[in-house]
Amino acid sequence: MKTRFSLLTVCCFIFLPSAALAQKTAIKAGHLIDTATSTVTHNQIVLVELNPQTGRSTILEIGPNVAIPADAEVVDLSDQWVFGGLVDAHDHLAITYKETPENWNYYQTVIMDSTPLRAIQAMSTGFQKLASGFTIVRDLGNNALYADTAIRQAIEMGWVPGPTIINSGIIIGAFGGQFYETPEMEDTVYPEYLNADTNDEIVKAIRRNIHYGAKVIKVCVDCQAYPYTVDQLKLFVSEAANAGQKVSGHVQTREGARRAIEAGLWSLDHDNAMDEELHKMMAAKGIWRVGTETPKADFMRPTSDERWERRVAMLRDAYNQGVKLAFSTDADYYIPGLTRGELTVEFIRTWLAAGIPDAEILKVMTTNGYEISELQNSRGPIQVGFAADLIATAENPLEDINAIRDVRFVMKNGMVFKKDGVVAPLGFFHNGPVYGWRKR
């Protein structure tokens, strides 16, 4: 079932005044899934508290006999399967290719669209992904001049609904980024990419991103003919670690991937360069594989049969070798008839084609996603003391992962965003929407 909402639905809630909100919500979960262990407990009550002054939500109690306070709002999901929100470990919220799959036009967006416009686009994209159950997104660059920081802060302050965002700021790369410029227009690369060729430039670029709100560092390892060396990549890792952050590496070549593994990057993004030997090295070092495995379908990006077969085989090999896997899409384009959330869900096609069990796919999309986002100790799992992010489906996703195509309920940060398959017309349900808190 498709989620239906209009541009008015997406935007009108921004201008509403604050209203009273129930402090506690009791969720009657007919089937509560622990995605880490693929186990189910039945007829559970999840008691959630939201502090509207701080915007902090907390799961207070979980169990079959939890006393429901008289003033609590009750959400009856007795016939549904309840579990933690989904995670997309690689997307670009502030970009949407404007053309059809036969004529991708990335440059049209980065050159012609302003940062304010792309920030609004990022808000809309995040709204659509949340409607499909994605409560966490790693937003890895191509977001103009820190539009990703702007939308993350707006969500955290309660101004707009959206997923928890782990953003990278501007992608750092050797001269030219991923562009092929002309001498007359060599500044076109900025602000999509930060040129950093020397050690001093690398350090400055990392610190600049962190200063302007990045939560993870993104590096183009080998996007040009002069890839970063192992020592340079180790500098990325150490400098980011100095601020408590990790490094995500965009890799295009086998040698670039090998260097990134040797340097100890947190994750390797995109699957083109991956092979059995590299998977063995990644498994040994505990490096995340963020493959962005585009499925083969008529409405998706064109993929040859040979490329598709290799993609599926390599994903299966990575799974068999015990590589740490994250569900990721790079779904930064427009498909007529699909929201960005629905497009994101389409990527399960690749995982099913690789023969990965449904329960394992769900674990990758949830538990693994919390871990790669470094939120597993505070947000994601449905546990007492954690933030209240959870979703529900009508069917059991442990038996058929396609159940997530019809997310019936979404709670984000203790507020009901979607219920009975319908997105709240003003952003959140309850007694009224609450916006404008500031974290203290």
pLDDT at residue number 426: 66
For 328, which DSSP code?
-
List the one residue out of 349, 417, 432, 337 whose CA is nearest residue 164: 417
Q: What average pLDDT is seen over the chain?
A: 90
Residue 70 CA, chain-centre distance (Å), reads: 36
**pLDDT given at position 433:** 42
More confident residue, 417 or 13: 417
Q: pLDDT of 67-114, one tens digit each?
A: 999 999 999 999 999 999 999 999 999 988 655 555 556 666 777 789
pTM: 0.92
pLDDT, tens digit, 9 for 90 and up, residues 181-197: 889 988 888 999 999 99
Q: Please tell me the predicted confidence (pLDDT) of residue 107.
A: 63
Predicted pLDDT at 336:
85
Q: What is the pLDDT of residue 111?
A: 75
Stretch 369-390: mean pLDDT? 98
Whether the link from the prior residue into 52 is cis, omega within 30° of 0, is no
Reported as a pLDDT band with limits 50, 70 and 90, residue 262 is: very high
CB–CB of 369/61 below 8 Å? no
What one-character-per-residue DSSP string does 79-130 give? EEEEEEPEEEEEE-TT--B-S-TTS--HHHHHHHS-HHHHHHHHHHHHHHHH
pLDDT in tens, 407-440: 999 999 999 999 999 998 766 664 444 444 443 3
Question: What is the structure's pLDDT at 14?
Answer: 40
For 395-409, the DSSP string reads S-TTT-GGGGGGEEE
- Structural contact between residues 50 and 23, judged by C-beta atoms closer than 8 angstroms: yes
Q: HSE on the CB side for 234, CA within 13 Å?
A: 6
> 41-50, 98-107, 117-126 — which is least confidently predicted?
98-107
Q: Going from the N-terminus, what domains does the chain have, and what CATH number goes with each?
A: 7-85+379-423 (2.30.40.10), 86-372 (3.20.20.140)
User: Sheet holding 171-173: strands in order across?
Assistant: 193-195, 171-173, 217-220, 247-250, 267-269, 288-290, 324-325
Query: How many angstroms separate the Cα of 6 from the Cα of each of 3, 154, 246?
Result: 10, 21, 37
